[in-house]
Amino acid sequence: MTVSVQALVDQVRARSTLEDLPTGHFIAGRFTSAETGSALEVYDPGAGTSIGAFAAGGAAEINEAVAAARKAFEHSWRRTTPAERGRVMNRIAAHIRSNADLLTVAESLDSGKTLSEARGDVNNVIRTFEFFAGATDKVQGDTFAIDDGLLAYTLNEPAGVTAHIVPWNFPIAMLARSVAPALAAGCTIVAKPAEQTPVTALLLARLCQEAGLPDGVFNVVVGTGVDAGAPLVAHTDIDHVTFTGSVPTGIAVMQSAANNVTPVTLELGGKSPAIVFADCDMDRAVDSLVGSIFMNAGQICSAASRVVIERRAHNAFLDKFSKRADAVQYGHGLRDLDMGAIISERQLGKIDGYLSAAQKRGISVAAGGSTTVDPETGKGWFVQPTIFDDVAADDPLVKEEIFGPVLTVQVFDDEDEAISLANGTEYGLASGIFTSDTGKARRLTREIDAGHVYINQWFSVGVEVPFGGNRKSGIGREKGLEGMRNYMKIKGVGERF
Q: Which residues bind ligand NAI (CB under 6 A)?
A: 165-169, 192, 194-195, 224-226, 229-230, 233, 244-246, 249, 252-253, 267-269, 301, 347, 350, 401, 403
Q: Identity (one letter) of the amino acid at 437?
A: D
* Rounded Cα gap, residues 478 and 240, in angstroms: 13
CB of 424 to ligand NAI, least distance (A): 18
CB of 365 to ligand NAI, least distance (A): 21
Q: Which is nearer to Mg ion, 171 or 270 (by Cβ)?
A: 171
269 binds, among Mg ion, ligand NAI, none (CB under 5 to 8 A by kind): ligand NAI
Q: Which is nearer to ligand NAI, 186 or 385 (by Cβ)?
A: 385
- Mind telling me the catalytic residues? 267, 301
CB of 247 to ligand NAI, least distance (A): 8
CB 162 within 8 A of CB 186: no
Q: Which is nearer to ligand NAI, 175 or 307 (by Cβ)?
A: 175
110 binds, among ligand NAI, Mg ion, none (CB under 5 to 8 A by kind): Mg ion
CB of 186 to ligand NAI, least distance (A): 25
Q: Assign residue 109 a region: left if phi > 0, alpha if psi is -120 to 50, beta otherwise? A: alpha
274 binds, among ligand NAI, Mg ion, none (CB under 5 to 8 A by kind): none
CB of 473 to Mg ion, least distance (A): 26
165 binds, among Mg ion, ligand NAI, none (CB under 5 to 8 A by kind): ligand NAI
222 binds, among ligand NAI, Mg ion, none (CB under 5 to 8 A by kind): none
Q: Which is nearer to Mg ion, 195 or 310 (by Cβ)?
A: 195
CB of 234 to ligand NAI, least distance (A): 8
Task: Find, among 72, 23, 33, the residue nearest to 190 by Cα.
Answer: 72
Cβ atoms within 10 Å of 85's Cβ, excluding its own: 24
* Rounded Cα gap, residues 14 and 16, in angstroms: 6
Q: Which is nearer to ligand NAI, 8 or 297 (by Cβ)?
A: 297
65 binds, among Mg ion, ligand NAI, none (CB under 5 to 8 A by kind): none
CB of 97 to Mg ion, least distance (A): 24
* Rounded Cα gap, residues 176 and 121, in angstroms: 10
Residue nearest to ligand NAI (CB): 225
226 binds, among Mg ion, ligand NAI, none (CB under 5 to 8 A by kind): ligand NAI
CB 469 within 8 A of CB 310: no
Residue 339, beta-bridge partner list: 330
State the residues that interact with Mg ion by CB under 5 A: 42-43, 110, 196-197
CB of 171 to Mg ion, least distance (A): 8
244 binds, among ligand NAI, Mg ion, none (CB under 5 to 8 A by kind): ligand NAI
* Rounded Cα gap, residues 94 and 87, in angstroms: 11
